[in-house]
Amino acid sequence: MIKIIFSILFLGTAIVIFLGPAKHNWEDVKGLMLQKKDFNTALANSKELLATRDNLIKDYNEISDSDLIRLDRLVPSSVDKMKIVVEIESLIKKHGFSVKDIQVEVSSVNDKNNNKSEVKNDVFDAVYINISFSGAYRPLLSFISDIEKNLRIMEVENLSFVSEEGDWYNYSMKIKTYSKK
């Protein structure tokens, strides 16, 4: 009988001695298992991001050189004020207008964010072109059409005109275009 009591007592003591420190270690093990799960999730996300990156690089490399040139013309990587002035001046003269003044102003899109629908970003600069010219009314429509069809993105923000003699007008136009920062 005493052997059974001592056996139960030793067994109970062994269980208490084992489970006491093991309980603290078990909490550490549970924490490590959660951390392992987080690491596995992060690893899966990184593999997904790498696959997405590889697909984007593949897609970018498939863009032809001529398309890259057209994209750079659409939104150039830098502002060449003289090139803009020459381009606008040639469009104006093509339609029979006489140029009075062309001014080019570069500013951040965020600086001129008066329009609530305009999205703030750190990618583009706005280029404002203020033009004063004179000529007949009918060529103005084809001039604006040419601005719309131009490969470079251009928005006519403001157009005002004053009549002089007959079909001759003095025009003042503000055009907005973009360049990459």
Q: Give the tens place of pLDDT for each residue, 86-96.
A: 988 999 999 99
Question: Which pLDDT score, from 0 to 100, does residue 116 have?
Answer: 47
Mean pLDDT, the chain, integer: 85
Q: Where are the domains of the chain?
A: 1-62, 76-180
| CA nearest neighbour of 157 among 177, 143, 178 | 177
pLDDT digits (tens, 9 = 90+) for 106-156: 886 555 445 544 555 567 888 899 999 999 988 999 999 998 888 788 889
Question: Which pLDDT score, from 0 to 100, does residue 120 have?
Answer: 57
Q: Where are the alpha helices (DSSP H) in 62-130?
A: 65-74, 81-94
pLDDT digits (tens, 9 = 90+) for 7-37: 888 888 888 777 777 777 777 888 899 999 9
In sequence order, what are the beta bridge partners of 178?
126
Measured CA to CA, the distance from residue 17 to residue 23 in angstroms comes to 10
Question: Which pLDDT score, from 0 to 100, does residue 4 have?
Answer: 87
Name which CATH class applies to 76-180.
alpha beta
Measured CA to CA, the distance from residue 125 to residue 141 in angstroms comes to 28
